């Protein structure tokens, strides 16, 4: 990055220890921060102390390193730790960057350095931080996606304030830091494994590669239950393979075309869009094993009707690695000894329809989809269902997703919320607490979109430039209800277009025979038309999709349904501030450097 980088190797003799606690347990979670594997983060979580211990391993340290968190992965307005040298001594500090990227010392030092160890080629920093610090410059660590950021210092800085994140070799990595503590069940004796992996793919020269591969189950494969799965990543590709998913293909078609190629290829058969039920998903930073809980198991193989015999497998590779090959995949552990319940997957949120649209140039436009009391009353068993995992899904403009359960008009609990949702990081997440949905409950899924870069409205649909708002919830016992989603009533949307025309001074009319996307495309997006569309979505009756398998509705009247009335909403909890320890230092910790070696 710097033309004449000064290679300063820090040899740390004594680390300034503050109450030198070792971590309570080894680190169950690991993630490479950069594609080159220079920085690797390990961490564990203490829910009792509401604290995370981090271990940051830096290979080939030059003059220092920045690590931290920010809202969406930017280096500005970030909550940081900084290890730097002035050429003489080395320092560690809790810091923050302002909106110009300028680094400042935090008045409150909440990251606490516990140990700094040097091995021949690397430096390892051990530090801890509470989830919540109540320092307004600190990131609040919550259950959802966290955008980790890093920067590499290649030359000394006279002071912390001399550092600007602009122009540093920097990057981001998304991860869920606060993973739930799910115990690993013992494997039964009859456990078998099946590997689903990319067929020795030659990685194309793209920034990001999504590789699609269709696999067929062996004919007449008997019914089993999957009890665990794990990632098997090709050696050397640990920092490249970002994300892997196995989708079941819907039973609409008996036979799916075989395919092996980039997911955005024009050659990819359109019918593969129906392969969207996630069976297994793994992402960087996940625990080695994803275990289904006791009783909570996904069926594998024959089931009565339908029989999902095709799977689509996607590997996501990040970074340009021309010529490199990858055969990563997912290993399923399954058993023929069937468990008590089948687990099911249900879609909540919005119907894939252009009726739901986001105006352009919005920073936080919200669309909401409902699973109404009428549908849960009709489709759920008397004893209700139990949601144990959730995967949130939008396309590229999605920024937040939340599903809330309401009962008797009152919001009762959050099923899953991600206020830092990224469409580039869609995990199946185990819920900390299983959520039981009873007959008559309402499930409300809201997605927040950012369309600042768009010039036209973004309408709902399957296409990557269209939008979705979905929560795939994993639950048991399996029911016939496959999707419970809504969209605004078409007739009311036409009234909206009529109002737009009436208020339009330019007499630009959207013609009644135009398609909905065409009508949206001709709306002049002024403040009135924006606010009125929002008001329409918050008011107009909805059309419900309370469906068994695709397009087969439960019997009943599902059009022109009233919006669920919610009289009391859940407030986002204000984070509890930890009890302050007797005056933490407000100056950097000095890390003694013994040797300085100029290149």
Q: Is 393 a catalytic residue?
A: yes
Nearer to a copy of itself, 22 or 136 (CB): 136
* Residue 577 CB, nearest approach to a copy of itself (Å): 10
* ω into 210 cis (within 30 of 0): no
* Spatial separation of the C-alpha atoms in residues 141 and 267, rounded to whole Å: 42
| Strands 483-488, 344-350: pairing kind | parallel
Please enumerate in sequence order all residues whose Cβ is within 8 A of that of 292, keeping only pairs 6 or more positions apart, or say none: 226, 227, 228, 298, 343
Which residue among 30, 104, 210, 438 is the active-site one?
210
Q: Any catalytic annotation for residue 210? A: yes
Which lies closer to a copy of itself via its Cβ, residue 294 or residue 498?
498
- Rounded to a whole number of angstroms, the minimum distance from the CB of residue 404 to a copy of itself is 18
Give, as one character, the DSSP assignment of residue 362.
Answer: -
How deeply is 447 buried, as exposed, middle or buried, from its count of CB atoms within 10 A (0-12, 13-18, 19+)? buried
Pairing mode, strands 442-449 and 325-326: unpaired
Helices and strands, counts by H and E, the chain: 4, 36
Rounded to a whole number of angstroms, the minimum distance from the CB of residue 112 to a copy of itself is: 22
Closer by beta carbon to a copy of itself, 98 or else 154 = 98
CB of 441: closest distance to a copy of itself in angstroms?
A: 23
Nearer to a copy of itself, 95 or 540 (CB): 540
For the bound state, the minimum distance from the C-beta of residue 47 to a copy of itself, rounded and expressed in Å, comes to 25
Helices (H), 398-443: none
Q: Which is closer to a copy of itself, CB of 104 or CB of 534?
A: 534
CB environment 494-533: b (16+ within 10 A), e (fewer) = eebbeebbeebeeeeebeeeeebbebbebbebeeebbeeb
Is the omega angle on the peptide bond into residue 164 within 30 degrees of 0, that is, cis?
Answer: no
Phi-psi domain of 64 (left: phi exceeds 0; alpha: psi -120 through 50; beta: other): left
SS3 state of residue 379: helix
Token digits of residue 96: 């923050």
Q: Which of 53, 224, 225, 393 is catalytic?
A: 393
- 535, burial (CB in 10 Å: exposed 0-12, middle 13-18, buried 19+): exposed
The residue (of 206 and 526) whose beta carbon lies closer to a copy of itself is 526
Q: In this complex, which beta carbon is closest to a copy of itself, that of residue 29 or of residue 525? A: 525
Which residue ranges make up the site for a copy of itself (CB under 8 A)?
A: 492, 495, 498-499, 502-503, 526-528, 530-532, 534-536, 538-540
Nearer to a copy of itself, 462 or 539 (CB): 539
Exposure string (b/e) for 54-91, b if CB count within 10 Å is 16 or more?
bbbbbeebbbbbbbbbbeebbbbbbbbbbbbbbeeebb
Q: Answer for the pair 176, 92: CB distance below 8 angstroms, yes or no.
A: no
Are 358 and 367 contacting, i.e. CB atoms less than 8 angstroms apart? yes
Shortest separation between residue 528's beta carbon and a copy of itself, angstroms: 4
Q: How far is the CB of 300 from a copy of itself (least distance, A)?
A: 47
- Shortest distance, CB of residue 526 to a copy of itself, whole angstroms? 6
Please classify residue 592 by burial: count the beta carbons closer than 10 Å to its beta carbon, then call 0-12 exposed, 13-18 middle and 19+ buried.
middle
Distances, alpha carbon 483 to alpha carbons 371, 391, 546, 553, in Å = 9, 14, 6, 9
Q: Which residues are catalytic?
A: 210, 393
């Amino acid at each position: 990055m710097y033309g004449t980088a000064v290679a300063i190797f820090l040899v740390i003799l004594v680390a300034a220890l503050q109450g030198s606690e070792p971590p309570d347990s080894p680190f169950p979670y690991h993630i490479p921060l950069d594609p080159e594997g220079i920085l690797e983060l390990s961490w564990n979580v203490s829910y009792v102390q509401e604290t995370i211990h981090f271990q940051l391993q830096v290979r080939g340290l030059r003059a220092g390193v920045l690590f931290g968190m920010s809202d969406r992965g930017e280096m500005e307005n970030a909550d940081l730790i900084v290890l730097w040298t002035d050429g003489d001594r080395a320092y560690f500090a809790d810091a923050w960057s302002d909106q110009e990227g300028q680094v400042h010392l935090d008045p409150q030092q909440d990251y606490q350095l516990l140990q700094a160890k040097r091995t021949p080629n690397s430096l390892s920093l051990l530090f801890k931080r509470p989830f919540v610090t109540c320092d307004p410059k600190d990131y609040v660590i919550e259950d959802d996606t966290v955008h980790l950021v890093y920067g590499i210092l290649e030359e000394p800085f006279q002071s912390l304030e001399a550092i600007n994140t602009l122009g540093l070799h920097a990057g981001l990595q998304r991860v869920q830091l606060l993973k739930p503590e799910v115990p690993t069940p013992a494997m039964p004796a009859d456990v078998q494994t099946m590997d689903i992996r990319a067929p020795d793919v030659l990685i194309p020269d793209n920034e990001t590669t999504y590789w699609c591969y269709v696999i067929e189950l062996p004919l007449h494969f008997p019914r089993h239950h999957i009890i665990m799965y794990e990632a098997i990543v090709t050696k050397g590709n640990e920092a490249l393979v970002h994300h892997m998913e196995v989708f079941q293909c819907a039973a609409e078609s008996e036979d799916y075309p075989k395919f092996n190629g980039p997911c955005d290829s024009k050659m990819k058969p359109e019918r593969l869009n129906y392969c969207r039920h996630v069976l297994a998903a793994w992402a960087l930073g996940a625990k080695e094993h994803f275990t289904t809980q006791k009783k909570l198991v996904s069926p594998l193989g024959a089931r009565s009707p339908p029989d999902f015999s095709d799977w689509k497998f996607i590997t996501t590779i990040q970074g340009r690695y021309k010529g490199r090959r990858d055969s990563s995949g997912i290993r399923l552990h399954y058993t023929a000894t069937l468990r008590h319940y089948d687990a099911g997957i249900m879609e909540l949120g919005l119907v894939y329809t252009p009726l739901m649209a986001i105006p352009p140039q919005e920073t936080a436009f919200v669309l909401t989809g409902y699973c109404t009391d009428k549908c849960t009353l009709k489709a759920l068993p008397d004893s209700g269902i139990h949601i144990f995992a959730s995967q949130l899904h939008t396309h590229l403009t999605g920024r937040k997703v939340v599903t809330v359960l309401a009962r008797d008009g009152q919001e009762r609990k959050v099923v899953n919320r991600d206020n830092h949702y990224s469409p580039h990081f869609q995990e199946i997440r185990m819920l900390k607490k299983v959520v039981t949905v009873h007959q008559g409950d309402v499930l409300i899924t809201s997605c927040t979109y950012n369309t600042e870069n768009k010039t036209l409205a973004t309408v709902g649909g399957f296409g990557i430039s269209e939008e979705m708002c979905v929560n795939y919830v994993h639950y048991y016992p399996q029911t016939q209800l496959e999707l419970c989603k809504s969209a605004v009533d078409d007739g009311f949307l036409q009234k909206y277009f009529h109002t737009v025309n009436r208020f339009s001074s330019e007499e630009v009319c959207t013609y009644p025979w135009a398609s909905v996307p065409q009508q949206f495309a001709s709306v002049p997006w002024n403040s009135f038309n924006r606010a009125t569309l929002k008001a329409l979505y918050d008011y107009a009756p909805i059309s419900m999709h309370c469906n068994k398998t695709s397009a087969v509705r439960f019997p009943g009247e599902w059009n022109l349904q009233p919006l669920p009335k919610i009289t009391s909403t859940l407030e986002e909890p204000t984070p509890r501030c930890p009890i302050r320890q007797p005056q933490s230092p407000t100056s950097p910790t000095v890390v003694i450097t013994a040797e300085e070696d100029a290149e």
